[in-house]
């Protein structure tokens, strides 16, 4: 595996693969890799001949007071894990390489889909995500890009961006990787204390209960959201949101919606945890 730090070197490597007739997969990450990230790498490996994994802590998707400076940078350990996973290229650019003119003035933004769920609490976050992913798409020009379904809203936004901007890239959503007790894998799980880590799986537990209620016939979505948020609060979570949403538009679900996502974000000590479950209601 080669570790490349410049746009020019990545483009040259991909150009050589193209001349050799190889297909290319991209897995964008912010590093501090765990088994969930490696499941994305495995998905890309199944789809393509060569895989590029980017490790870049993107400043434009962090808001004021968020953990940009504290976000773990573990490039040596990440490289070792990716080497074991037979990744061809680790692209680890500097901020200056990705934003060569300094303060950014050119943005890629998807309207509407970013107005709900995490977008409502983190203004500007998804604009930063779509901008940096667009840059990575232009640099690597992959055939396939893989993202995790844990970040359901991000995946929906990136699918929409890719389609509307005519990127010739197939977006693959990989299933959420979970710990044995059901907690969605996340780099921020490392912030949890021992006591908080024992409580963290309750987020998934309450989402499963909400899904079961819907499968059993519950159709008062707002009441279900309130009950779930109350239950999380009793377990010690600081709830940002619990939403039953239309899985396509991410708008809070209305009567007649069948394709649903139950999504939640809640703080437990230092980290903000997110998770979601999807379901299809039967036709009435």
Is the pTM of the predicted complex or chain greater than 0.85? yes
220-274 pLDDT, tens per residue? 999 999 999 999 999 999 999 999 999 999 999 999 999 999 999 999 999 999 9
Q: Go through 8-36 and write b for each residue having 16 or more CB atoms within 10 A of its CB, e for each that does not.
A: eebeebbeebeeeeeebbbbbbbbbbbeb
Q: Residues 201, 183: contact at Cβ < 8 Å?
A: yes
Strands 24-29 and 50-55: what pairing?
Answer: parallel
Residue 147 has pLDDT above 80, yes or no: yes
Residue 74, classified by CB atoms within 10 Å of its CB into exposed (0-12), middle (13-18) or buried (19+), is middle
Closest CA to 26 of 174, 187, 224, 239: 174
**Residues contributing to the annotated binding site for (R)-pantoate:** 61, 154
Band of the pLDDT at 70, cuts 50, 70, 90? confident
Residue 184 has pLDDT above 90, yes or no: yes
The fold of 187-279 is: 3.30.1300
- Per the rule left: phi > 0, alpha: psi between -120 and 50, beta: everything else, 86 is left
14-46 pLDDT, tens per residue? 999 999 999 999 999 999 999 999 999 999 999
**Residues contributing to the annotated binding site for beta-alanine:** 61
Among 37, 125, 138, 205, the one annotated catalytic: 37
**Residues contributing to the annotated binding site:** 30-37, 61, 148-151, 154, 177, 185-188
37 catalytic? Reply is yes
Who wins on pLDDT, 119 or 13? 13
Q: What letter does residue 252 receive in the DSSP assignment? A: B
Segments making up each domain of the chain, as ranges = 2-174, 187-279
Closest CA to 111 of 241, 252, 250, 257: 250
The fold of 2-174 is: Rossmann fold (3.40.50)
């Amino acid at each position: 595996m080669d570790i490349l730090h410049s746009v020019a070197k990545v483009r040259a490597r991909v150009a050589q693969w193209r001349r050799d007739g190889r297909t290319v997969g991209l897995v964008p990450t912010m590093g501090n890799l765990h088994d969930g990230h490696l499941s994305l790498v495995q998905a890309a490996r199944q789809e393509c001949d060569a895989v590029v994994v980017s490790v870049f802590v993107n400043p434009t998707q962090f808001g004021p007071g968020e953990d940009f400076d504290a976000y773990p940078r573990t490039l040596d350990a990440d490289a070792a894990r990716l080497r074991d996973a037979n990744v061809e290229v680790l692209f680890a650019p500097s901020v200056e390489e990705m934003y060569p003119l300094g303060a950014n003035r050119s943005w890629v933004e998807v309207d509407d889909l970013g107005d709900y769920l995490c977008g409502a609490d983190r203004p500007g976050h998804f604009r930063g995500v779509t901008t940096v992913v667009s840059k990575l798409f232009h640099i690597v020009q992959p055939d396939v890009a893989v993202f995790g379904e844990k970040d359901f809203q991000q995946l929906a936004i990136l699918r929409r961006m890719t389609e509307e901007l005519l990127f010739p890239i197939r977006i693959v959503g990989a299933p959420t990787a979970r710990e044995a007790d059901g907690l969605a894998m996340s780099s921020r799980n490392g912030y949890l204390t021992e006591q908080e880590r024992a409580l963290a799986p309750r987020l998934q537990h309450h989402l499963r209960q909400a899904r079961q209620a819907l499968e059993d016939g519950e159709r008062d979505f707002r009441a279900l959201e309130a009950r779930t948020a109350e239950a999380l609060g009793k377990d010690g979570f600081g709830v940002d949101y619990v939403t039953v949403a239309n899985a396509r538009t991410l708008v809070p679900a209305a009567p007649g919606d069948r394709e649903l996502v139950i999504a939640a974000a809640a703080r437990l000590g230092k980290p903000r945890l997110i998770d979601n479950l999807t379901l299809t209601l039967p036709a009435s």
